[in-house]
Amino acid sequence: MSSYFALIGFGPTGWGLQLLQASLMTLAVACAGFLFGLAFGAIGAWAKLSGSRIARAASDAYTTVLRGVPDLLVIYLFYFGGSAVITGLGRWLGEEGFIGLNSFLVGALAVGIVSGAYQTEALRGAYRMIPRGELEAARAVGMGRALMFHRIVIPQVLRFALPSMGNIWQAVLKESALISVTGLVELLRETHLAAGATRQPFTFYMTGAVIYLVLTTLSGVLFQGAERRTTRSVRLPPVAMR
Amino acid sequence: MDWVFLLDTLHQLLEGVPLTLELAACSIGAGALLALALALLRQSGVAPVAWFVRGYVFAFRGSPLLVQLFLIYYGLSQFPEIRHSFLWVFLRQPFWCAILALTLNTAAYGSEVIRGGLQAVPPGQIEAARACGMSGFLLFRRIILPVALRQALPAYGNEIIIMVKTTSLASIVTLMEVTGIAARLISETFRAFEVFTCAGAIYLVLNFLIARGVGLVEYRLSSHLRPAQS
């Protein structure tokens, strides 16, 4: 047991520092992916709700394809496809040779575009739950579109979408492990390296799994807190009373 | 559009479809049985057993499948006991490791779906069955299980589609299913977009067919909910 702690601790032979850094990298890339997803989701939801038939069709195609195709395939597309585009661009500008892309950015974008498809549905559903009367009332008291959006729409959409967003965040956090195929040294990649270097694969993969469990559990608690906070004004009566 | 390249790519990718389906079918089948067992154990009322199932579901849903796959594929070789046991015949092959990881993973998600179905069985129906003299296994087989599975089917359909997509992770442990072949083609030709289009189309068609199939089964099982045909 003491040898285990020497192995994953912060001592001279320990992998503690690397694992800590890698965990932070996992969190960073997951956060970036989640935020990209939120942006894509907002655009997708707006397109689905807009009257334009073309925008709606494009958004429908986006959610159908990205939810029906393996995430790993999307990551490959972004990693290799992005590099091919940049290399082509470089050749056009007189730069020779293959240009690799920043795997953090590529990974976050790939995870973002996949989770954006799920965010689209979450945000669209949440927008539909806003009572129509409130929008009418806002218009009746003279709010412009921007003010109404800021005061009435956004707070409620966030409240209604928060439970689904919590699920999407958990999925993004776990999906970020796939980005290790691009060589980004996040948690899974680091455990892979440590497992190879020490020839103790089970020890390190188990440690990695436990760190992922800690991350998902802690962020789950955070999301629950946020949910409680945003539903203060609409607290439901205790179950027994309903 | 380079149609010759697209057709050639599609042709090569289709060779991976049998393996993708094999991985999906084996893991979904075995996973569903395990999920049912887990859901029943969770409901058993024996506290340690229920806690074990809770822990199982928590662990497998809270960590990435890729970590679970590596834990089985690379991790188990750390123990000489396993390397020298008969299990090693299976566990040294990426195919069986992938099946094992996918099965254990989907069982965790599936057990929650089935548990929801079991909880949704109307108590009145169970009472009625008891009043008719059914109990134990007969009650379970005739009343609880069919009603629960019918309730769980739509959500389980989603799980099946997710699993078909998830089999792509098997490519990381060298299995040449559709995504594995796609990755190879991309790194050979650097035409990521065309290869992605073909591979994506294959997965979309598979998932569309599965969704239709599940919808059909659902339709067949819900004839009692439709108005009688005149």
Model confidence at A235, in pLDDT bands (50, 70, 90)? low
Rounded CA-CA distance B108/A145 in Å is 46
Q: Which of A73, A199, A212 sits opposite B64 (nearest CB)?
A: A212
* A197 burial type by CB count under 10 A (0-12 exposed, 13-18 middle, 19+ buried): exposed
Q: Which pLDDT score is estimated for A241?
A: 44
Contact B27, B99 (CB under 8 A): yes
Rounded CA-CA distance A55/A46 in Å is 9
Measured CA angle at B218 (ends B215, B222), to 5 deg: 140
pLDDT of residue A237 exceeding 60: no
pLDDT of residue B1 exceeding 80: no
Tell me the torsion sign for CA atoms B61, B64, B65, B70.
Answer: negative
Q: Which pLDDT score is estimated for A218?
A: 96
Query: Quick one: residue B94, left, alpha or beta (phi over 0 = left, psi -120 to 50 = alpha)?
Result: alpha
The CATH number covering residue A99 comes to 1.10.3720.10
Q: Which pLDDT score is estimated for B124?
A: 93
pLDDT of residue A47 exceeding 50: yes
Question: Is residue A133, in this structure, part of any structural domain at all?
Answer: yes
* Interhelix angle B3-14/B178-189, nearest 10 degrees: 140
Rounded CA-CA distance A162/A141 in Å is 28
Q: How many CB atoms lie within 10 A of CB A109?
A: 23
Q: Which residues of A touch B175 (CB under 8 A)?
A: none
Question: Is residue A35, in this structure, part of any structural domain at all?
Answer: yes
Instruction: Give me the percent of chain A exceeding a pLDDT of 70.
Output: 93
Which one of B19, B60, B65, B67 makes the best mutation probe of the A interface by having the most chain A beta carbons within 10 Å? B67
Least confident of A23-37, A71-85, A174-188: A71-85
pLDDT of residue B204 exceeding 90: yes
* B192:A209 CB<8 A: no
pLDDT of residue A2 exceeding 70: no
Which tens digits make up the pLDDT trace of B133-144?
988 899 999 999
Q: Which of A65, A73, A202 sits opposite B71 (nearest CB)?
A: A202
Query: By the CB < 8 Å criterion, does A155 face chain B?
Result: no
Question: Is residue B230, in this structure, part of any structural domain at all?
Answer: no
Q: Which residue has the higher pLDDT, A12 or A178?
A: A178
Q: Which pLDDT score is estimated for A1?
A: 60
Domain that holds residue A143: 24-233
Which one of B20, B66, B164 makes the best mutation probe of the A interface by having the most chain A beta carbons within 10 Å? B66
Q: Which pLDDT score is estimated for A242?
A: 41
Question: Is residue A3, in this structure, part of any structural domain at all?
Answer: no
For residue B97, the surrounding DSSP H or E stretch is helix B94-119
Per the structure, how many domains does chain B have? 1
State how far the alpha carbon of B220 is from the alpha carbons of B18, B40, B141, in Å: 28, 26, 19
Contact A207, A191 (CB under 8 A): yes
* B192:A76 CB<8 A: yes
Question: Is residue A223, in this structure, part of any structural domain at all?
Answer: yes
Which one of A202, A207, A216, A217 makes the best mutation probe of the B interface by having the most chain B beta carbons within 10 Å? A202
The CATH number covering residue B198 comes to 1.10.3720.10
Q: Which pLDDT score is estimated for B90?
A: 87
Question: Is residue B226, in this structure, part of any structural domain at all?
Answer: no
Q: How many CA atoms lie within 13 A of A16 on its CB side?
A: 11
* B179:A72 CB<8 A: yes
Question: Is residue A14, in this structure, part of any structural domain at all?
Answer: no
Least confident of A207-211, A234-238, B18-22, B207-211: A234-238
Q: Which pLDDT score is estimated for A100?
A: 67
Q: Which pLDDT score is estimated for A13?
A: 75
Q: How many CB atoms lie within 10 A of CB A225?
A: 10
* A65:B200 CB<8 A: yes
Residue keyed to tokens 């009650």: B139
* A176 burial type by CB count under 10 A (0-12 exposed, 13-18 middle, 19+ buried): buried
pLDDT of residue A97 exceeding 70: no
Question: Is residue A29, in this structure, part of any structural domain at all?
Answer: yes
Question: Is residue B26, in this structure, part of any structural domain at all?
Answer: yes
Which residue is closest to A26 within chain B, CA to CA? B64
Question: Is residue A12, in this structure, part of any structural domain at all?
Answer: no
* Interhelix angle B65-73/B94-119, nearest 10 degrees: 140
What amino acid is encoded at B103 in this protein? T
pLDDT of residue A238 exceeding 70: no
User: Considering the entire predicted model, what is its pTM?
Assistant: 0.90
Rounded CA-CA distance B183/B195 in Å is 9
Question: Is residue B229, in this structure, part of any structural domain at all?
Answer: no
Length of chain A: 242
Question: Is residue B78, in this structure, part of any structural domain at all?
Answer: yes
Find all residues with CB under 8 Å of A203, minimum gap 6, and list them.
A4, A7, A8, A195, B78
Q: Which pLDDT score is estimated for A81?
A: 84
Query: Quick one: residue A94, left, alpha or beta (phi over 0 = left, psi -120 to 50 = alpha)?
Result: left
Measured CA angle at B180 (ends B174, B183), to 5 deg: 120
Per the structure, how many domains does chain A have? 1
Contact B183, A76 (CB under 8 A): yes
Which tens digits make up the pLDDT trace of B52-77?
999 999 999 999 999 999 999 999 98
Least confident of A160-164, A227-231, B10-14: A227-231
The complex's ipTM works out to 0.90
- The one-character DSSP state at B222 is T
pLDDT of residue A204 exceeding 70: yes
Q: Which pLDDT score is estimated for A89?
A: 81
Rounded CA-CA distance B4/A207 in Å is 48
Query: By the CB < 8 Å criterion, does A56 face chain B?
Result: no
Domain that holds residue B139: 3-221
Q: Which residue has the higher pLDDT, A87 or A144?
A: A144
| Mean pLDDT for the stretch of residues B100-126 | 94
Q: Which pLDDT score is estimated for B187?
A: 87
Q: Which pLDDT score is estimated for A99?
A: 67
| Mean pLDDT for the stretch of residues B188-196 | 89
CA distance A121 to chain B (A): 15
Query: By the CB < 8 Å criterion, does B162 face chain A?
Result: no
Residue keyed to tokens 């189309």: B201
Mean of pLDDT over chain B: 92
